[in-house]
Amino acid sequence: MPGAQKQQRKLRSVAAVDDLSHYSVIERLRDGRTLEIRALLPGDRVGVLAAIDHSSAQSLYRRLFLGRSAASPTRRLCSCLRWTSLTT
């Protein structure tokens, strides 16, 4: 049941954050190291742009477009904008 407890902890931590721009959670990796998963901050811009700049075109394509074939482009856009329903 450790997986179920971990999932419950994650759900509680997300529910406790009213503004997801302040989301932060610390997770422990299998090798014992810890890692913080958090919302992007304005100061992260330079690092994110550098990471994108150093990524190959194939890597960017895979990260942004593959694995989403089940959803239509319209549904992906609405999901991205956090709309709850589609209007035509």
Within a domain: 66: yes
Within a domain: 88: no
Q: Which domain covers residue 22, as residue numbers?
A: 2-80
pTM score of the predicted model: 0.45
Within a domain: 86: no
Within a domain: 85: no
Each residue's pLDDT tens digit in the chain (88 positions)?
555 656 556 555 555 556 778 888 999 999 999 999 988 888 888 898 888 889 898 888 887 787 655 555 556 555 554 544 444 3
Within a domain: 63: yes
pLDDT at 86: 43
Domain count, the chain: 1
SS3 track for the chain: CHHHHHHHHHHHHHHCCCCHHHCEEEEECCCCCEEEEECCCHHHHHHHHHHHHCCCHHHHHHHHHCCCCCCCHHHHHHHHCCCCCCCC
On the 0-12 / 13-18 / 19+ scale of CB atoms within 10 A, 78 is middle
